[in-house]
């Protein structure tokens, strides 16, 4: 009798163990076949980390610490009303600010600062402002440059003027001029619905203020790319190099010290991308070392910045720059994925999401512990548009169930497919539908993919 009881207990435990293993296997394959449910843009799965991670690092530089200075040599043209050379203008953290009263008068808005509040309204819109946020027609948002109070007068950044008043800023570096024109970008369809199965991730790579990005027309083209993705309801990422260095050209563009209209235009691009569905992460600090140039050189590896102190310095300098410029960052990507296992551990102390493979054997997201997530880009990149675009589109169409549809793309390739002019006081865009990004966007839409931000991949 006792022997039979032992056998029954053993059989029960064996069956229970088998069921548990089967459940884990099915859960594993169910997740990695992307049977995921996204509700109101949030993705849920037991394979995802919890929302409990908090970095213990406090940035050494804050946006509030940055000085405010006067700007005397920049011209504004608002809705083609003529060049305005005497507009009071301030500079803070690579953003230009103009008086709130001035822009309201130019756009026929009434400004009310009574009752210890700030409201702006006309026949169509009502906007409430405080130092860091706004509410427009009951929709809330975060100001990119914050509202400045200078000698009792409120100043608002060009980036926030674009967002709040539905305008588009086109910078002219040679003439130190900014044109504010109507923004006719198409609003995306409501995405607060139930999604399942297919998710994708888009990342713009090696994005710093150097090379093609110091050209005003190219900065505008990046904003046009953001408009494309926004109008299609697609989320995207920008892997940002905060300090761009090219030793051979004696070029060192530190956004914390080089105050000029080129850098103001670049930060405006980052702000615009954030307002149009973008999310920003750090791609190293300079993405170079020694005599190598940013974007091509290493910055973390077994041979470069390999000590704990050196690794932390690279990470913290990037975080400090983002903090000083009021640029929110949500992930880290080591340059060329060359970080060692020890460097990965150090990065993980600062960031919950690491936008790179944990190792190259895994073609989907990987959770090394309860708090972190490594997100690879198994679809790779487009180096040669004539061949790689077709390859990537075919891969998206085929929909490999075990591979995360995540890719990265250098925007400098896409700018060759975009032309624009400002005739008639509007942004007239000629965007070649044969461009790599246009073709990839079409493939994602045709196959009903939902693009998510990396920090959507979390249990809340």
pLDDT at 189 over 90: no
Residue 23's pLDDT is 42
Residue 16's pLDDT is 53
> Angle at the Cα of 329 (from 324 to 334), degrees rounded to 5?
110
Class of domain 196-456 as given by CATH:
alpha beta
Q: Report the alpha-carbon distance of residue 101 to residue 111 in Å, rounded.
A: 7
pLDDT in tens, 199-243: 899 999 999 999 999 999 999 999 999 999 999 999 999 999 999
Q: What percent of the chain has pLDDT over 90?
A: 79
For the ranges 148-162, 357-371, 430-444, which has the lowest average pLDDT? Answer: 357-371
Q: Are 96 and 157 in contact (CB under 8 A)?
A: yes
Q: What percent of the chain has pLDDT over 70?
A: 88
Token reading at 285: 């600090």
Residue 188's pLDDT is 86
CATH (residue range 63-182): 3.30.457.10
Q: What is the mean pLDDT of residues 89-110?
A: 97
pLDDT at 335 over 70: yes
pLDDT in tens, 11-55: 555 555 554 444 444 343 333 333 344 443 445 455 788 888 999
Q: Report the alpha-carbon distance of residue 423 to residue 238 in Å, rounded.
A: 30
Pairing mode of beta strands 95-99, 110-112: unpaired
b/e for 156-187, b at 16 or more Cβ within 10 A? bbbbbbbbbbebbbbbbbeeebbbbbebebee
Please give the mean pLDDT across all residues of the chain: 90
DSSP states of 248-307: GGTEEEETTT--SHHHHHHHHHHHHHHHTTEEEEE--SSS--TTPPTTTS-SSSSSSS-S
Choose between 350 and 17: higher pLDDT: 350
Q: Report the alpha-carbon distance of residue 142 to residue 106 in Å, rounded.
A: 23
> Angle at the Cα of 286 (from 345 to 207), degrees rounded to 5?
100
Highest mean pLDDT among 197-201, 329-333, 448-452: 329-333
Report in angstroms the alpha-carbon separations of 28 from 32, 373, 405. 6, 16, 17
Q: Report the alpha-carbon distance of residue 445 to residue 361 in Å, rounded.
A: 28
Q: What is the mean pLDDT of residues 364-370?
A: 92
pLDDT at 368 over 60: yes
Q: Give the global pTM.
A: 0.90
- The domain ranges of the chain are 63-182, 196-456
pLDDT band of residue 81 (cuts 50, 70, 90) is confident
Highest mean pLDDT among 47-51, 129-133, 447-451: 129-133
Residue 115's pLDDT is 85
Q: What is the mean pLDDT of residues 138-145?
A: 96
pLDDT band of residue 195 (cuts 50, 70, 90) is very low
Q: What is the mean pLDDT of residues 74-97?
A: 94
């Amino acid at each position: 009798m006792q022997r039979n009881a032992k056998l029954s207990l053993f059989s029960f435990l064996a069956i229970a163990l088998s069921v548990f293993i089967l459940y884990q296997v099915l859960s594993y394959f169910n997740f990695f076949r992307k049977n995921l449910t996204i509700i109101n843009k949030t993705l849920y799965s037991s394979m995802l980390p919890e929302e409990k991670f908090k970095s213990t690092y406090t940035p050494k530089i804050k946006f509030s610490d940055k000085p405010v200075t006067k700007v005397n040599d920049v011209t504004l043209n608002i809705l083609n009303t003529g060049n305005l050379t005497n507009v009071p203008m301030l500079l803070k953290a690579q953003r230009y600010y103009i008086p709130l009263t001035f822009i309201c008068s130019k756009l026929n808005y009434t400004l009310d600062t009574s009752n210890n509040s700030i409201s702006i309204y006309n026949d169509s819109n009502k906007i409430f402002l405080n130092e860091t946020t706004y509410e427009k027609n009951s929709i809330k948002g975060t100001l990119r440059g914050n509202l400045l109070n200078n000698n009792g007068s409120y100043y608002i950044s060009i980036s926030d003027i674009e967002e709040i008043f539905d305008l588009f800023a086109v910078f002219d570096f040679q003439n130190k001029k900014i044109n504010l024109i109507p923004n006719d970008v198409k609003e995306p369809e409501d995405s607060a619905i139930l999604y399942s199965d297919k998710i994708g991730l888009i990342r713009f790579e090696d994005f710093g203020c150097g090379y093609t990005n110091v050209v005003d027309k190219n900065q505008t083209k990046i904003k046009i790319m953001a408009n494309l993705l926004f109008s299609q309801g697609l989320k995207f990422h920008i892997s940002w190099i905060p300090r761009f260095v090219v030793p051979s050209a004696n070029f060192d563009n530190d956004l914390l010290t080089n105050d000029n209209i080129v850098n103001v235009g670049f930060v405006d691009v980052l702000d615009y991308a954030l307002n149009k569905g973008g999310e920003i992460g750090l791609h190293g600090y300079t993405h170079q070392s020694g005599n190598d140039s940013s974007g091509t050189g290493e910055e973390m590896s077994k041979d470069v910045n390999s000590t704990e102190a050196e690794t932390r310095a690279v990470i913290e300098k990037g975080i400090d720059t983002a903090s000083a410029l009021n640029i929110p960052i949500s992930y880290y990507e080591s340059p060329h994925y060359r970080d060692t296992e020890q460097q990965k551990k150090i990065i993980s102390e600062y960031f919950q999401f690491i936008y790179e493979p944990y190792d190259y054997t895994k073609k989907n997201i990987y959770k090394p512990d309860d708090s972190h997530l490594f997100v690879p880009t198994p679809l790779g990149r487009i180096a040669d548009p004539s061949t790689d675009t077709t390859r990537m589109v075919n891969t998206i169409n085929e929909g490999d169930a075990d591979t995360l549809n995540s890719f990265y793309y250098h925007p400098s390739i896409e700018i060759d497919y975009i032309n624009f002019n400002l005739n008639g006081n509007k942004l007239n865009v000629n965007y070649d539908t044969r461009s790599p990004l246009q073709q990839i966007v079409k493939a994602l839409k045709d196959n009903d993919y939902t693009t998510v931000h990396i920090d959507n991949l979390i249990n809340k």
